[in-house]
Structure 1
Amino acid sequence: MEIRFEAAGSAREDELLSLYDWLAADRALRGQVRVTRVAEAGAGAGRMGPGLDAVLAVLSTVSSVGQLHLSYLAWRRSHRPRSRVSVEITGDPDQVADLMRRFAEADDADGDPQ
């Protein structure tokens, strides 16, 4: 399963870097989730390096689905992103539906849809 996190707004790169750092540092995800930064296509003119377009998490086990979701929620609650973060999930349709439901329930509980 792959989960792609994207952000919109002027602070999107800062938000994505924060999320990347958070997920990469989460010990519970190590060995179960590969977290990578996705560079913007064609970016870099007048910049030191390419801009950050998204954070991609690739899950190697079904059990890591719940842990990644919990880690994302912990980041969101502690960080309170200034940009809207969207989540795109690809994989087994049943697992995708379950995870999307979890994210939606968390949005409802926070009162701050992402």
Structure 2
Amino acid sequence: MEIRFEAVGAAREEELLSLYDWLAGDRALRGGARVTRVAETDPGTGRMGPGLDAVLAVLSAVSGVGQLHLSYLAWRRSHRPRSRISIDISGVDAERVAELLRGFGEGDDSDGEPR
């Protein structure tokens, strides 16, 4: 399963770097999830650019989802991101994706959607 975190807003790259550092530093995720930075693609050349486009978590076991969920919510509560964070989940059926997205939106004090 892959979970991709993207951000929209002026502080987009700063937010993604903060999230990456948080998830990569979470010892509880080690062994259950591989967290990587996804570089921007330069539209003119198709090559990777210097910026950060997304944070990608690749989970080796479904059990890693629970810890990733907890780590993301802890980051969101402590960091209070200024950019909207979108979450894209692939590698599982649509019903499970909807369930996971609801979980990532827990405690959101705005519109109930993952941020």
Structure 2 residue 112 is matched with structure 1 residue 111? no
**2:38 alignment partner, SS class:** strand
**Amino acid corresponding to residue 97 of structure 2 in structure 1:** V
**Amino acid corresponding to residue 77 of structure 2 in structure 1:** R
Instruction: Looking at secondary structure, tell me which structure has more strand per residue.
Output: 2
The total of aligned residue pairs comes to 106
Counterpart residue number, 1:25: 25
| Identity across the alignment (%) | 73
Aligned-residue offset at 1:112: 2.7
Cα deviation per residue 1:19-41 (whole Å; 9 max; x = unaligned)? 00000000000011000000000
Q: C-alpha distance in 2, partners of 1:15/1:101?
A: 21
Instruction: Looking at secondary structure, tell me which structure has more helix per residue.
Output: 1
| Alignment RMSD | 1.4
Unaligned regions of 5+ residues in structure 2, if any? 44-48
Q: C-alpha distance in 2, partners of 1:78/1:92?
A: 29
Q: C-alpha distance in 2, partners of 1:72/1:11?
A: 18
Q: C-alpha distance in 2, partners of 1:59/1:51?
A: 24
Counterpart residue number, 1:5: 5
Instruction: With the length of structure 2 as denominator, give the TM-score of the two structures.
Output: 0.86
Pairing 1:1-114 to 2, within 5 Å after superposition: 1-42=1-42, 50-93=50-93, 94-104=95-105, 106=106, 109-113=107-111, 114=115
Instruction: With the length of structure 1 as denominator, give the TM-score of the two structures.
Output: 0.86
Unaligned regions of 5+ residues in structure 1, if any? 44-48
**Amino acid corresponding to residue 95 of structure 1 in structure 2:** R
Mapped contact 2:72–2:104 kept (Cα < 8 A): no
Q: C-alpha distance in 2, partners of 1:10/1:110?
A: 20
